[in-house]
Amino acid sequence: MINDVESVLLSEEKLATRIAEIGAEITNDYAGKEILMIGVLRGAVIFMADLARSIKVPVAIDFMAVSSYGAGTTSSGVVRILKDLDENVEGKHLLVVEDIIDSGLTLNYLLDNLKSRKPASIKLCTLLNKPERRKVDVKIDYNGFNVPDYFVIGYGLDYAEKYRNLPFIGILKPEIYKD
Ligand code: IMP
Ligand code: MG
């Protein structure tokens, strides 16, 4: 697994430091409120687990799964809900947690869908952002890091369901996904 990594882009320490900063910012912004975190399965799970523990106001969690890449590395533009929320979100303060925003197609769809369910508020937190590849505009409220246009893996992010358990964000060797 480690031999497939070209280089480490964000170390465990860098991730932890930045997540503590975002957690403090969110704690401050939501003082006196409760948050319903909505994790986008499956890539956001590891980030969400650490982020939730860095926030000091009450946090409930729920998950959604939407279709994205299959085994490829570029977005199809087709978004489909594979798993919906278990909770009713009406009147709640939603914080959508995503691993990476690339074309923006997934989140654009998801935010519109969630807004139609009448939450009290909705904000977006992403660990990574690849601005170069944006196709539709997405408003990011909390951004961990901007990253260059490489295919990255680890800390929840996968290629064909592999590498999610690496504790850092790494750049995948192009020969792994180019045929
Ligand atoms: P978007 O709809 O193009 O913004 O796609 C976002 C989704 O694509 C993310 O939630 C990831 O699952 C996946 N994705 C995009 N870029 C990468 C990457 O560099 N590594 C791993 N997954 C990625
Ligand atoms: Mg994802």
Topology of 12-150 in CATH? Rossmann fold (3.40.50)
Which pLDDT score is estimated for 80? Answer: 86
Which ligand 1 atom minimizes the distance to the CA of 79? 2
* CA triple 146-151-154, angle to 5 deg: 85
CA distance 123 to 142: 8
pLDDT at 69: 54
Residues 6+ apart with CB under 8 A from 178: none
What residues in the chain have per-residue pLDDT under 50? 71
DSSP at 149: S
Domain ranges of the chain: 12-150
Count CB atoms within 10 A of the CB of residue 109.
17
Which residue type does 167 have?
P
CB 90 within 8 A of CB 116: no
Q: Furthest-apart CA pair in the chain: how many Å?
A: 52
Residue 68 · residue 33 · CB < 8 Å: no
Reply yes or no on whether 102 is catalytic: yes
> What is the per-residue pLDDT for 163?
98
**Residue pair 146/131 in contact by the 8 Å Cβ criterion:** yes
Ligand at shortest distance from the CA of 65: 2
Give ion ligand 2 contacts, CB < 5 A. 43
Task: Round to whole Å and give the CA distance between 48 and 40.
Answer: 9
Task: Using the mean position of ligand 1's atoms as its centre, give its distance from the Cα of residue 31 in Å.
Answer: 31
DSSP 25: H
- Work out whether the CA dihedral 10, 94, 80, 141 comes out positive or negative: negative
Whole-number Å distance between alpha carbons of 109 and 98? 13
pTM: 0.94
pLDDT for the residue 68 = 64
| Choice among 50, 62, 102, 149 that is catalytic | 102
Percentage with pLDDT > 90 across the chain: 89
